Amino acid sequence: MPQLNPEFFVSQLFWLAVFFTFLLVFLWRVSLPRIATVLEKRQNKIDENLSSAKELQEKAMDIEKKINDQINKAKLETDEKIKETINTLQEDVSSQLSLLDKDLEKKVSDAEKEILKSKDDQMKNINNEIANITKLTVGKITDIELSDNELNKVIQTHKGSFN
């Protein structure tokens, strides 16, 4: 078994010592600190990002709260304004309506007066027309020329029976 041949024991031990010592010192002084630095740097970066993310989250929550508050405030204000507007509009409408009512009443009474007046006028005209027609008719039928006074007298006498 070559493992038990002592011929190369010293050589193996010597080179093992050389290479293992080199490996140990190199890893200890160069490689491992480099990896440790990288890992530490990454951990720091992660921590930093996490803390800034937390901060941003808090800020976002604050902003959200502010926005909600403002929305609520704006809603209340709007409601109030809508109510106010409705009230003023209602007042306006009712005053306008009452004005319109008065106006209409006045116009109706004026119209009534005018109607009465025109009725009277018409009645007068009808009387005249009756007199004229009667005069013409009597003239045509009887050749009697009636004077206006006579005619009026007759009409006045029989006026009751016209109505």
CB-CB contact of 152 with 131 (8 Å): yes
CB-CB contact of 146 with 135 (8 Å): yes
Decide if residue 62 touches other proteins (CB under 8 A). Answer: no
Instruction: Provide the greatest CA pair distance for the chain.
Output: 187
Q: What is the DSSP string of 40-61?
A: HHHHHHHHHHHHHHHHHHHHHH
- The residue from 24, 71, 86, 104 that contacts other proteins (CB under 8 A) is 24
Decide if residue 31 touches other proteins (CB under 8 A). Answer: yes
Decide if residue 74 touches other proteins (CB under 8 A). Answer: no
Decide if residue 41 touches other proteins (CB under 8 A). Answer: yes
Q: How many residues lie near other proteins (CB under 8 A)?
A: 36
Q: Where along the sequence are the contacts to other proteins (CB under 8 A)? A: 1-5, 7-17, 19-20, 22-24, 26-28, 30-32, 34-39, 41-42, 45
